[in-house]
Chain A
Amino acid sequence: MGIKKFISHVKEFLSLDKSINSNKKKSIKQLLKKLKKRRVEVYKLIENASKEDKLILEEELEIISLHIKKGKDIFNNYVKLKKV
């Protein structure tokens, strides 16, 4: 077995290439979980909020929804990469 082949076997065995992507996938998954939890909390707060607070919370909700959307897109990209 050539050195190149041997090293690629070791690399594959240790999953060096995949580990970076799987780490990122794991962190995005955790982040999405936290963001979704926060979105539920904000929804609940809006229900009983005053008019002034409602505006602030609605803005917050919009930001969180945007983060979730972006996070999902990134997550789906990693899933696609894994399938390839």
Chain B
Amino acid sequence: MKNKILTSLIIILLFGSLAILNLYPNISMIFGGIALFLIGMEYMEGGFKVFSGGMLEKILKKFTSNTPKAITTGFIATSIVQSSSLISVIIIGFLSAKLITLTSAVGVIFGSNIGTTTTAWLVSSFGLKIKISAYAFPMIVMGIVIPIFFKSNTYKGIASVLIGLGVIFLGIGYMKEGFETLKEGINLAQYAMDGYSGIFVYVFVGLIATVVIQSSSATMAIIITALATNQIDYQNALALAIGANVGTTVTAILGALKSNENGKRLAVAHFIFNIITAFIAIIFIYQLADLVDYLSVFINIDKNNYTMKLALFHTIFNVMGVAVVSIFIGRLVKFLNTLFIPKGLEKGKVKYLDKSVLKLPSTSIRAIIKESKHLYRNSFDIIIQGLNLKHQNIISVMPIKEVIKYPYSKYSVDMDKLYNRNIKGIYGEIIDFISKAQVNMSKDNIELLYSFKLANKYMVEAIKDTKHLQKNLIKYSSTSNEHIKKQYNQIRIDLAELLRNINKISFLKEEDEILLMLSKVKLHTEKYDIIANGTLDNLIRKNLITNEMATSLMNDSAYAYDISTNLVKMAEIIFVHTDANIDNITKDILMNEEDINLILSKK
């Protein structure tokens, strides 16, 4: 949604700029500058998403264990990438995949607010003192040339960042020039207003400007360039900066509308934080201005350098906001947790996939792994019910032979209904998410995602095989022919044991334990093959079962074998990749068919 608004805005600005080019060339230049600034920001954000290659995500995940760490990390990360919206997107993705707590996420957002103030410092110190547009073209050219020689995503990302920076520099240059020439015709400073009425008016103007432009950084760049050319009064510029801070929350709320409950909670946290900060800043604006004057002496800011003083004011009131609101972070999180609680049946809905992280490879993979495990849990329940067993008995220490004595129900469960309700939707969403996510990924990651597509398919196939098996399983479990009853009960025992072992694997953390358990399960699955082990031939030869029973048993044991192999293949993928780490080597050591045959041949 944000992208659509931004694209429309850039188009309007560019067309507007062209339309008034002859009539008001200076305003046209400012419009063009703002459009370029916004395009540059988009390029830079996109570039960082690709360039960081998961590094940014790793850092954000690692250094957010407590609130001070989360605030510092949010500050540093935003200062580097110059985009609080990129940090917000990553954090929403982490929250959705339950990789960090809401408290840490709120901390990062607070820190990110301080981080955005570095834009003001960069524009006021670097952007205005030297002719930065002179650096723009070499950067843009480099950004265009790099992808010609280097095809990897990393270089493409670096190229995008360079183009973005170059275009931002051009934008600032045009804005500055536009305001300078505008001054010769119209002097906006004549609209300066004193006192609290002026503060409120300019806070409102700053707010509206940011809502329209969709970027507080762009608004700050306009304010600073206008202030540098004396088009606005310093006091009014302070109020505009406060307004821009509030306006950015509207952008965040718009962005969160299509997000899940986590995105919405974070947007509310952001809103509360900025409203409180703005409220305090407005009340104490004169005292804060005095504090800026006082501190300026210590950091060698000239008393007439209002742009730098504005940057300092911007930082001070955001730091002050963080200091005040952080005290109540616990209460804030408690309140946030009461909001946007999903209603109705959630079992059949995705829990971890959030489309906002599609462009973040590492976070997307983590979300897919978590969602696949969610689908596994749902599949596990359905298969257990299909085998007419009780979930609590499977996961208990009850001897397996006892487990099959307690049926789930007297009647067969409707597998189609369960599949449609708890599997189909999630499965479809996972496949859709994988297809969209892999667009921005490396070859290795695409291969990893392909294996997850297969893992999910194996689960669905295991459910379908259970559905085929279900009818005869219930019929022959209560038949008077003890021989066929024994065989069907054996199928239930074997599958129950397999399900219990796979459930154990799902909780294992040590990779050597996972390897051993998976290999054992795989080995035992091969032993279940009653056609290969001669059981079926024996029953037919001795006329212990009818022909109809024999064909049913033959088909059903094949279904049971398929359920086992599908579940084992699924487990080999989703429980080996416990993280988005493609360096994982456990899968290379897993037993293959040759290894199994080697061990079986020794017996």
Contact = CB atoms under 8 A, between A and B. Distances in A.
Contacts of A3: 142, 145-146, 149
Contacts of B584: 27
Contacts of A9: none
Contacts of B585: 24, 27-28, 31, 74
B593 interface: no
B589 A31 contact: yes
Contact of B591 (A20, A63, A71): A63
Interface in A18-38: 20, 23-24, 27-28, 31, 34-35, 38
A4 interface: yes
A71 B519 CA distance: 14
A70 interface: yes
Contacts, number: 62
Interface stretch (B98-106, B318-326, B356-364, B508-516): B508-516
Nearest to A42: B516
Given A3-B145, A31-B589, A34-B510, A64 B516 contact: yes
A62 B516 contact: no
Give me the 10 closest cross-chain CB pairs, A-B, nearest first: A34-B512, A23-B583, A63-B519, A70-B589, A28-B585, A24-B583, A35-B512, A67-B589, A71-B589, A27-B585
Contacts of B512: 31, 34-35, 38, 67
B419 interface: no
Given A35-B512, A63-B516, A70-B589, 6 more contacts: A27-B583, A31-B512, A31-B586, A34-B512, A63-B523, A67-B591
Q: Chain B contact residues: over half helix, strand or loop, or mixed? A: helix
A59 to B, nearest CB: 7
- Which of A4, A38, A64, A66 is most buried by chain B, counting CB atoms within 10 A of its CB? A66
Contacts of A79: none
Nearest to B595: A66
B516 A67 contact: yes
A60 interface: yes
Interface residues of A, number: 22
Given A3-B149, A38-B512, A62-B599, A67 B583 contact: no
A3 B148 CA distance: 11
- Which of A31, A63, A71, A74 is most buried by chain B, counting CB atoms within 10 A of its CB? A63
Contacts of B589: 31, 67, 70-71, 74
Interface of B: 142, 145-146, 149-150, 155, 510-512, 515-516, 519-520, 523, 583-586, 588-589, 591, 595, 598-599, 602
Contacts of A60: 516, 520
A66 B589 CA distance: 9
Given A34-B512, A62-B602, A74 B588 contact: yes
A45 interface: no
A31 B511 contact: yes
A4 B151 CA distance: 12
A49 interface: no
Contact of B599 (A7, A66, A71): A66
A4 B595 CA distance: 46
Contacts of B591: 63, 66-67
Interface of A: 3-4, 7, 20, 23-24, 27-28, 31, 34-35, 38, 59-60, 62-64, 66-67, 70-71, 74
A6 B599 CA distance: 53
B595 A38 contact: no
A27 B579 CA distance: 14
A28 B583 CA distance: 10
Contacts of B520: 59-60, 63
Contact of A63 (B145, B586, B599): B599
Nearest to B444: A20
B592 to A, nearest CB: 9
A74 B590 CA distance: 12
Contacts of A66: 519, 591, 595, 598-599
A84 B586 CA distance: 24
Contacts of A59: 520, 523, 599
A31 B209 CA distance: 57
Given A59-B523, A63-B520, A70 B149 contact: no
Contacts of B155: 7
A57 B358 CA distance: 46
Contacts of B145: 3
Given A3-B145, A27-B585, A38 B511 contact: no
Contacts of B598: 66
- Which of A28, A60, A67, A71 is most buried by chain B, counting CB atoms within 10 A of its CB? A67
A80 to B, nearest CB: 15
Contacts of B142: 3
A27 B512 CA distance: 11
B516 A70 contact: no
Nearest to A33: B512
A66 B585 CA distance: 15
A3 B146 CA distance: 8
A59 B380 CA distance: 27
A64 B142 CA distance: 53
Given A34-B510, A34-B511, A20 B583 contact: yes
